[in-house]
Structure formats: C-alpha cells, structure tokens
Amino acid sequence: MRFTRSKLMIACLIASTAAISACSKADNTQNDDTLTATSPATGEASNLNARDAQQKLIKALQANLKNANINAKILDVKATEVPNIYWVSIEGMSSVYVTADGKYIIQGDVIKLDKNPHSIGDKLQATENKKHFAALKKEDLLVYPAKGQTKHVVYVFTDASCPYCHKLHEHMSEINAKGIEVRYIAWPRGPQFMPAMESIWCSADRQKAFDQAIAGVQLPAATCKNPVKDQYQMGLNMGVNGTPAIYSENGEYLGGYLTPEELDKRLNK
C-alpha cells in the first residue's frame, strides 16, 4: 500500500496555515519513552547518543504507523536543528518531520525565522536529492550540453504537456550559452501524459521527439523498456509536485520556471 497524504489523515490531524501544514504538537509531558536529542543549533546534552536515539525513533514510528494501518518503509532519519524534531525519509512520498517519540508526524515546511527565513529540512533534503541524481544514468536522461565550458549542471523534471516547460525549453539555447547543462528527467503530471513521455524516451532522437511532442505531434507508442515510471517515482520521493522543477547538481531546489538570467543568478549565488 502506498503511503499517501490521504493515508496520513488516518495518523494525524492536519492543521494548515499559509506556509505550514502540521500534525498535533508533541506532548510536553516527559516520560520514559521521551528522547532528548542533541540539537546541532544549541549543543544541548543528550540522554542518548544520536545512533541510539534514531534507532529508538525508527522502532517507535514503525510501530505507530502499523497501528494506524499504514504500510510504509522508513528509509532514513536525521536530527534537525530543532530539539526533538527529526527529518524522516519514507519510501514513496515526500519527507516529513517526526517528533522524537514517533507519535506525531508534521507535513510541510518547518520554517526558521531569522534574517533569511528557511525550511529546516532544505539542506537535509538536498543531501538526499544529490544521492538520487548521482544514481541516475546519463543515457536515461534527455541532455542539453552547455556551449563551451560547462559551469553548472541542472536537473529538470519536465513534462511535454506542461506550458511552463515549453516556455523554459524555448530558452534552452540561451541557458546552454551561459555554460549550463540541462538534464531533463521525465515527470508526466498524470497517467494520461505517461504514454507521450515514454514515447519520447523510446525515440532514437529524444530531442527531436520532445520538440515534436511540445508542438502537439502524436508520437508512435513506446516500444522499449524505459525509465519514465522510475523517474516519476523518484520525483515523488523527492517531493516534486509540478513541472518544471529545477534542481542544482548538489540537490538544491532552485524553483519552477526561471528565465536564463534568473537561473544563472541562482546558480552563481
């Protein structure tokens, strides 16, 4: 059973604000099961070393998911800069935050308020994204090399039916001229768009096929084993929810549609 957002409604009550969607707040009452983890930001003392704390959390969270009739595989757990809040990667869905006792799941962003507000999970997610990108085979992508020296490489989740993907693609020559190599990852936005993307990826000339699909040409049905479904699932695991979704080689999410100038500026930041 896939662990979806609808399934999470079984496990927690979602409260929405303009920027944050979260489960109930963790109970402040201390008991024998409570973990006090070392906070990277404060260096507070820990009752357990990081490894033991994470293993205890995984065990508790797995049990609570099972009690909620949610069949999900926990892939990774990392401490955040917020005491007793962990970042958790779960197979088949976007990462979530979990309280140290494994009783509460927080969906969405947890924002640190300072001069440059940011999500406390950005760097952790970027590390995971970088691993995903490193595991990709270049021959499984649609690649547009930089002109001259390659200064940057970006990964872009794209769909031939997406208007903003079309707009980005119109500026490909300008992007490449800035020394940016673009590596397209197939991410059909719905089942109805899967056949077209598979046809592109099965074409001998993917660039030509992509251009044709953008222009509305009906491509022949796919006739090869292709990575489109796997790439789509990878996007889900990373939290992709629309196209284009642009990432740096280091896994940092740069944004949706960006002009060549905006993209270059963010990469050189």
Instruction: Share the mean pLDDT of the chain.
Output: 84
8 Å CB contact between 60 and 52? no
d(CA 213, CA 197): 9
Cite the residue boundaries of each domain of the chain with CATH code 3.40.30.10: 137-267
How far, CA to CA in Å, does 179 sit from each of 44, 73, 206, 268? 45, 40, 21, 11
Classify residue 201 by its DSSP letter. Answer: H
CA atoms within 13 A on the CB side of 59: 8
Pairing of β 152-158 and β 253-255: unpaired
* Ranges 32-41, 162-171, 216-225, 246-255: which has the least confidence: 32-41
Average pLDDT over residues 146-150: 97
What digits encode the pLDDT tens for the residues 168-213? Answer: 999 999 999 999 999 999 999 999 999 999 999 999 999 999 999 9
d(CA 174, CA 144): 11
- Fold of the domain built from segment(s) 137-267: Glutaredoxin (3.40.30)
Kindly give, in sequence order, each residue whose CB lies less than 8 Å from that of residue 100, ignoring residues fewer than 6 positions away. Answer: 26, 34, 35, 36, 37, 53, 57, 84, 85, 86
pTM of the shown model: 0.76
Residue (of 140, 206, 207, 204) closest to 173 by Cα position: 207
* Ranges 146-150, 236-240, 250-254: which has the least confidence: 236-240
Task: Output the pLDDT for position 9.
Answer: 36
8 Å CB contact between 110 and 85? yes
Which residues participate in catalysis according to the annotation? Answer: 159, 162, 165, 189
Q: What is the 3-state secondary structure (H, E, C) of 112-148?
A: ECCCCCEECCHHHHHHHHHHHHHHCCHHHCEEECCCC
What digits encode the pLDDT tens for the residues 10-37? Answer: 333 233 333 322 222 233 333 333 333 3
Instruction: Give the burial class of 201: count Cβ atoms within 10 A of its Cβ; 0-12 exposed, 13-18 middle, 19 or more buried.
Output: buried
Count of all residues that appear for the chain in the document? 269
| Orientation angle between helical segments 194-202 and 228-238, nearest 10 degrees | 120
8 Å CB contact between 121 and 110? yes
- Cis amide prior to 163 (ω within 30 degrees): no
